[in-house]
Amino acid sequence: MCKKFMCILAVLFCMACTSTKDNSNTNSSILKTHLNADPNTSLLIDVRELNELTESGTITHAIHVPLSDITNNGPSWQALTVKLKNLQPNTLTNIGVFCRSGVRAGKAIERIKELGVTPDNLGGFKDLTNAGFSVTQINTQH
């Protein structure tokens, strides 16, 4: 009985390790796709809040649509909705969403899917900078 239990645990452990490895490879290839994409045919959406952007900057060419606007139908969400609804077919080939760690990006993606598009969750800001995306500093002084 104990040997069977240990075998089952070993198999489950191996499956978990394989699954994790595949996810990181997939994420890496998705990041490369977005990194090499033409800014005219791709859209990067930063869903972090403004104070986070002023601290660390954002990815060059990304648009800022904070999750708070997405969940509360705020002005940047309204603008994104209009932009996505008015697109010609096949105009955007890549849409990616990111935040600090990827959690809020996942929540934003669920809402964006309501518009008929399925963006990629690019994870966290550091994932993108580590992959080679350039950073633009945000100036909030007027």
Q: What is the DSSP string of 63-113?
A: EE--HHHHHHT-HHHHHHHHHHHTPPTTS-SEEEEEESSSHHHHHHHHHHG
pLDDT of 39: 86
Q: What percent of the chain has pLDDT over 70?
A: 80
Give the CA distances from residue 63 to residues 23, 86, 123, in Å, rounded to whole numbers and listed in that order: 26, 17, 16
Which of 98, 32, 34 has the alpha carbon at shortest distance from 63? 98
Asked if residues 96 and 44 have their Cβ atoms less than 8 Å apart, the reply is yes
pLDDT of 56: 95
Helix, coil or strand: residue 126: helix
pLDDT of 28: 79
pLDDT of 116: 87
Chain center to CA of 55 = 19
Chain center to CA of 133 = 13
Per-residue pLDDT of the chain (142 residues; tens, 9 = 90+): 556 544 454 444 444 443 333 334 447 788 988 998 888 889 999 999 999 999 999 999 999 999 999 999 999 999 999 988 887 777 888 899 999 999 999 999 999 999 888 999 999 999 999 999 999 998 766 4
Which of 119, 122, 112 has the alpha carbon at shortest distance from 67? 112
Dist CA 89 CA 33 (whole Å): 20
pLDDT of 23: 38
Instruction: Classify the C-alpha dihedral 49-51-53-56 as positive or negative.
Output: negative
Dist CA 127 CA 31 (whole Å): 8
Residue ranges and CATH numbers for the domains of the chain are: 2-136 (3.40.250.10)
pLDDT of 13: 45
pLDDT of 2: 56
pLDDT of 85: 84
